[in-house]
Amino acid sequence: MKATSRYRIRERVFLFFTTAVCAAVLTGCCLHRPSQFVVVPEAVFRTEKSIADRIRLPLTPDGRQRVTNFLAGNASLKYKGGSSDPAVKRELELVKPLLDFLTEHHEHQLSADDIKSGTAGALTSYLGKTFVRQIVDGRNYDQRNVFEEPPEGAEWVQYPPWPFAFRHGSIWWVFFPNDAGKVTGLMLAAEITREKPNN
């Protein structure tokens, strides 16, 4: 009788353990994992056609309008008049404090340390604290991808910091610091996703 009871207890423990493991595996497979890198899409799905016309920070009125137009077009420059989607219009209201924070009249220019510490005020409120620093951009010849140390005779002696990319909905906000650690550039780009093939 005791042997039968022990057997049943072991059987229940084994069943419970097996169920828990299966549930953990299935949950891990089903959860959406955040991207670990940003792929810069074609020109129509980003705020800059070339690196030379990157939006400068602090924002000027023209830079702010470019950001607003991109968001109004639902992350595309194709829709010049803006999207009629109520969600897009609501987002334009929600982003105003961040744009105010980034304007040229703001008393404190955003720095890389502000972003890393999560103390960047309206930026943290709107975009959160989770960022990605791996940017895949075929247009950008970044010497850090070639040399570990500056080669002899190089005009540059210090590498600029890696960009910071935050995802908000289906849009990446990419902030570019300079050598002094001040964030001086901004690019918005649509997130590139692909459907899983059927075969």
Judge residue 100's burial from the number of C-beta atoms within 10 Å of its C-beta, 0-12 exposed, 13-18 middle, 19 or more buried: middle
What would the pLDDT profile of 111-150 be if each residue is shown by its tens digit?
999 999 998 889 999 999 999 998 888 776 565 555 566 5
Task: Pull the structure tokens for residue 35.
Answer: 């991207």
**Strand ranges inside 18-170, DSSP E:** 38-39, 55-56, 135-136, 164-168
Read off the pTM.
0.72
How crowded is residue 146: how many other Cβ atoms within 10 Å of its Cβ? 8
**DSSP bridge partners of 173:** 166, 188
What would the pLDDT profile of 2-42 be if each residue is shown by its tens digit?
455 555 555 554 444 444 444 443 444 344 445 578 888 98
